[in-house]
Chain A
C-alpha cells in the first residue's frame, strides 16, 4: 500500500464562477492522516469531490490523485430506496477487479461479508437497502469503501448520524488504515475528535486559513478568521486578481 503524494497548486474550485475553494496550495503526504475542517459552505466537500475527479478544476492543478482515491460520499446524496441488497452494494466496491463484465474473484462474497462484519452489519447481506436506517446506510458505504482497498481514502463527514459505538468502530478502521500507510483525508466537525486523532489539519474557509500540524492550525485566532468567512456570494465581485483574500 504505497500512496503517492497528492499536490495541490493554486487550486481553485468554483460553483457558477464563485470560488468554493480559493487558491489552495500544499500537499497530502503519503500515509498522512488529515482532517479538513471549516464552517458550512467552506468548500470541504467540494475539495474531496475534486480529489475524486467528480468536480471540475476551475484553475490550478491537482497532481497525484487520479486512480488511487476512493471517496465515502455524504450519505444524504444517495437514493436510499433503491431495490438492491446490502451485499450487492458492497460488491460494487470490487469494481476495479470485476469491471463491467469480468467475473468477480472467487472470494468476493466472503470478502464482502467480512467488510459488512467489520462495519457491524453482520446478517444484513440480503436486507434491501431501503430498509436501513441512516446510520446503517452510512456503515454500508464504509463497507463498500473497505472493499475498494484504495491507497488514498477520502471521507466526507464519516461520523454523521452514527451512534457512539459505531463511530468508535469506524474510528478504529481509520486508525488501521493509517497504520497500514494509507493516506486518509476526512471532513469533520468535531474539533475534539480532530485534536485527539488527527495529526494534520487543513482549516478551510474557501481560502485556506491553515494547513499543518493540528495544534498549530486549530489556534483561537485561526478559528476566528475561519468563522468570519462571508458565507454569501458577492454577486458584484470582480474577477479575482489571483491572490487569496483572507
Chain B
C-alpha cells in the first residue's frame, strides 16, 4: 500500500491459484499438496511481477493486470479438470468452518514466522519503501528485503486460503491496511490499527456468516470493507467528516 503496490498483492493472490489448483489436480483436496503448489506458484509470480515491474520501469499496472487475469483463468480451468463447482467454490472462497487440524497448524506456524520476520526486517523495509535509491546507495540491499516481504505475503495467502479462499484472503490483508491510513500518521500506528481492524473484521464476519448463514470469506471481507468505508468517512486523517467539520485555525 505504501509503495503503491496494492495491485501486486492482488496479483499474488490470483497467482497462488494455479498452484493450488495443480496441487488439487494431482492429489485432490489435500492440504500439503495444495499449499505446496500454491507456495511455488506464488513465489514464481512474485519474482515475475518484480521482473515485470523493472522491465516496465515502474509502470507495471497493465502488465500485472494481464498476469492476474491469466492466473485466474488458468486456476479455474485446472480445478474444473477434476472437480465440480463445489470444489471450485471451496478453493476460491474457502470455508472457515471446514478447517482441519493441519490447516490450523499451518496458520499458527505462519503467524509465528511472520511476526518475528517483520520485526526483524522492519528498518530495511521502511527504508526501501521510502527511498529505494538511498537504500541502494548505502548498500542496504533493498531488493532482497522486498522479495522476502513478497514471500511472506505469499506464505500468509497460502495459510489463509483454507479459511477465506484464494480470492478473499487478500481482502483481509489489504482492506485493514488501506483503512489504517485514515487513523494514524506513523507507520507503527498504522500497523496497530490495521491488525485491530483485521481482528474485528474476522470476528464480526464470522458472527455475521453464522447469523445469516452466508459464506465466511465474503462475510469477513465485507466486514473489513465496512471498516474501510467508515474509516474513509470518519477517520481523523484525511477523512471526509474531518474535512467537512471545519474547526478554527490555530495561532501558530
Contact = CB atoms under 8 A, between A and B. Distances in A.
A83 B123 contact: no
A49 B158 CA distance: 40
Residue of A54, A83, A96, A148 with most chain B CB atoms under a 10 A cut-off: A83
A130 B181 CA distance: 13
A12 to B, nearest CB: 21
A153 to B, nearest CB: 12
B136 A95 contact: no
Interface residues of B, number: 23
B189 to A, nearest CB: 8
B133 A83 contact: no
Contacts of A232: none
Contacts of A100: 121, 123-124, 140, 145
A128 B2 contact: no
Contact of A83 (B2, B124, B140): B2
A71 B134 CA distance: 8
A84 B130 contact: yes
A101 B126 contact: no
Interface stretch (A74-82, A179-187, A188-196): A74-82
Nearest to B187: A83
Interface residues of A, number: 27
B145 to A, nearest CB: 8
B57 to A, nearest CB: 11
B129 A92 contact: no
B129 A95 contact: no
30 contacts: A53-B137, A54-B133, A54-B136, A70-B137, A71-B137, A78-B130, A78-B131, A82-B2, A82-B130, A83-B2, A83-B181, A83-B184, A83-B185, A83-B186, A84-B130, A84-B186, A84-B187, A85-B186, A88-B126, A89-B130, A92-B131, A95-B127, A95-B140, A98-B123, A100-B121, A100-B124, A100-B145, A101-B120, A101-B123, A128-B186
Which 8 residue pairs are nearest across A and B when measured between Cβ atoms?
A: A95-B138, A100-B124, A52-B137, A128-B185, A82-B130, A83-B187, A54-B133, A100-B123
Interface of B: 2, 120-121, 123-124, 126-127, 129-131, 133-134, 136-138, 140, 145, 181, 184-187, 190
Interface of A: 49, 52-54, 69-71, 73, 77-79, 82-85, 88-89, 92, 95-96, 98-101, 128, 130, 148
